[in-house]
């Protein structure tokens, strides 16, 4: 079986992270992704660093490498007649267009939704904005950290209510890209029936609010305003980060049976008043933490993890990224890819998080391609367009 999207052509007009991540996800599943970049400097992330790697006169941003695998690059000046003409040809022969301009920018370039669908009624358009395409603040520029704050995520993250923290990756951008790719897949499926493409819209704000999960219903249903409380779950105890002899251990005790096993194994009476039920333990979380930190204190991390596994309590350590990427379990899941880069040679980059069937490679393809050099495919894409124009019905 081939890759699920191998017959799909994606025109990636986006830059930075949300749109490029969505387009990369489609590319991982086999789509041909043609990334349109500005001549001279290209995607903003080509200049984001350090770190940069490679020769001093031709540095490569590792940020760019993270979100542009399985793509081709063509440079077009969309303010020029040639640039607009080539983009129009790409639209005619494409299936999906991804853009994350501020609302109205693409219209001013002459490529409104109406114009795009005149060129290709079957085109699926993914449009990602910062705060939505309409509403009283629909025109605001969107940047991940600002959206994390405005969307409430930072109020839930940190050591306490007075210590708001951003998530350690641009989670709003990444989630918007994921939601966008999910919407594109649905729109492509619908197109099989209707014969027409539609516009899929999402935003950094929508993506962040969309993952509030139980914290959202704490407010909308129960009327509680959640706040940050560090590394312990607000609704389950014990569930969080604890201290042992030489490090930290995380445990997830999500049922009463697990609590009984955990407490018994470490000399704690599970029926102690105030600790018998999850509701009681949440109310007395500080006491639970104090008891478990004391019980874990004599154990080196390795021994503690072994004992928790023997008891059947889910547990884990906190790995630094070097240890994550060197971990055999990570590599067994296809989450590290070997690719050949024209400037850097053989490199390893993070891989896609989905595997199909028993494919040893992650994603829908086994021939993952290096993130492209700026304009690397100018000639080949234009040659492909010439072929498509010749073969198109007159």
With beta carbons less than 8 A apart as the criterion, state whether 259 and 270 touch: yes
Q: pTM of the predicted model, to two decimals?
A: 0.93
pLDDT in tens, 165-185: 999 999 999 999 999 999 999
pLDDT at 286: 95
Confidence tier at 394 by pLDDT (50, 70, 90): low
What's residue 362's pLDDT? 66
pLDDT in the model for residue 360: 55
Domain 9-211+328-391 in CATH 3.90.550.10:
no
- At residue 104, the pLDDT reads 87
Catalytic residue among 57, 173, 338, 358: 173
In degrees, rounded to 5, the angle at the alpha carbon of residue 224 between the alpha carbons of residues 219 and 226 is 85
Three-class HEC string of the chain: CCCCCCCCEEEECCCCCHHHHHHHHHHHCCCEEEEEECCCCCCHHHHCCCCEECCCCCCEEHHHHHCCCCCEEEECCCCCHHHHHHHHHHHHHCCEEEECCCCCHHHHCCCCHHHHHHHCCCCEEEEEECCCCCCCCCCCCCCHHHHHHHCCCHHHCCCCCCCCCCCCCCHHHHHHHHHHHHHHHHHHHHHHHHCCCCEEEEEHHHHHHCCCCHHHHHHHCCCCCCCCCCCECCCCCCEEEEEECCEEEEEECCCHHHHHHHHHHCCCCCCCCCCCCHHHHHHCHHHHHHHHHHHHCCCCHHHHHHHHHHHCCCEECCCCHHHHHHCHHHHHCCCEEEEEECCCEEEEEECCCCECCCCCCCECCCCCCCCCCCCCCHHHHHHHHHHHHHHCCC
- CB contact set of 345 (below 8 Å; sequence gap of 6+): none
The predicted pLDDT at position 186 comes to 98
pLDDT at position 361 is: 61
What is the third-level CATH fold of 239-320?
formyl-coa transferase, domain 3 (3.30.1540)
Token pair of 380 as six digits:
């080949």
Mean pLDDT of 189-193: 97
Task: Show me where the domains of the chain are located.
Answer: 9-211+328-391, 239-320
Structure tokens at 161: 């209510």
Among all chains, which residue has been given the structure tokens 């994921």?
178
Structure tokens at 301: 């991390």
pLDDT score for 18: 97
Please report the pLDDT score of residue 311 as a whole number.
Answer: 95
Q: How far apart are CA 89 and CA 339, in angstroms?
A: 30
Give catalytic status of residue 173 as yes or no. yes
* Residue 230 confidence class, pLDDT cut points 50, 70, 90: very high
Work out the pLDDT band at 359, boundaries 50, 70, 90: low
Question: How much is the mean pLDDT over the chain?
Answer: 95
Burial letters 352-381, b for 16+ CB under 10 A, else e:
beebeeeeebbbbbeebbbbbebbbbbeeb
- Lowest-confidence region among 30-39, 51-60, 207-216: 51-60
């Amino acid at each position: 079986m081939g890759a699920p999207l191998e017959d799909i052509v994606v025109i990636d007009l986006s830059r930075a992270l949300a749109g490029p991540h969505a387009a990369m996800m489609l590319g991982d599943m086999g789509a041909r992704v043609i990334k349109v970049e500005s001549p001279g400097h290209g995607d903003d992330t080509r200049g984001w660093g350090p770190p940069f790697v490679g020769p001093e006169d031709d540095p490569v941003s590792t940020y760019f490498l993270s979100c542009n695998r399985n793509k081709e690059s063509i440079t077009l000046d969309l303010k020029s007649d040639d640039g607009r003409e080539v983009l129009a040809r790409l639209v005619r022969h494409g299936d999906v267009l991804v853009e994350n301009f501020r609302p109205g920018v693409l219209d001013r370039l002459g490529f409104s939704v109406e114009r795009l669908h005149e060129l290709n009624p079957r085109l699926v358009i993914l449009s990602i904005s910062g705060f939505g395409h309409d509403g009283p603040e629909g025109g605001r520029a969107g940047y991940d950290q600002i959206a994390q704050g405005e969307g409430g995520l930072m109020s839930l993250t940190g050591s306490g209510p007075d210590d708001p923290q951003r998530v350690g990756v641009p989670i709003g951008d990444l989630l918007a890209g994921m939601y966008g790719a999910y919407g594109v897949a649905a729109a492509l499926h619908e197109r099989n029936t209707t014969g027409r493409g539609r516009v899929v819209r999402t935003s950094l704000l929508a993506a962040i609010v969309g993952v509030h999960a139980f914290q959202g219903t704490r407010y909308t249903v129960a009327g509680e305003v959640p706040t940050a409380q560090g590394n312990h779950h607000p609704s389950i105890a014990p569930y969080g980060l604890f201290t042992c002899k030489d490090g930290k251990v995380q445990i997830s005790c999500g049922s009463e049976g697990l609590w009984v096993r955990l407490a018994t194994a470490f000399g704690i009476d599970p029926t102690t008043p105030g600790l018998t039920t999850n509701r009681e333990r949440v109310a007395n979380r500080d006491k639970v933490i104090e008891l478990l930190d004391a019980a874990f204190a004599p154990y080196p991390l390795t021994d503690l993890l072994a004992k928790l596994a023997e008891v059947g309590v889910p547990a884990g350590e906190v790995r630094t990224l070097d240890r994550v990427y060197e971990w055999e379990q990570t590599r067994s899941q296809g989450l590290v890819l070997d690719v050949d880069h024209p400037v850097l040679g053989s490199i390893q980059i993070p891989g896609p998080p989905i595997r199909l069937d028993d494919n040893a490679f992650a994603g829908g393809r086994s021939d993952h391609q290096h993130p492209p050099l700026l304009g690397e495919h100018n000639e080949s894409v234009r040659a492909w367009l010439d072929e498509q124009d010749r073969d198109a019905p007159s």
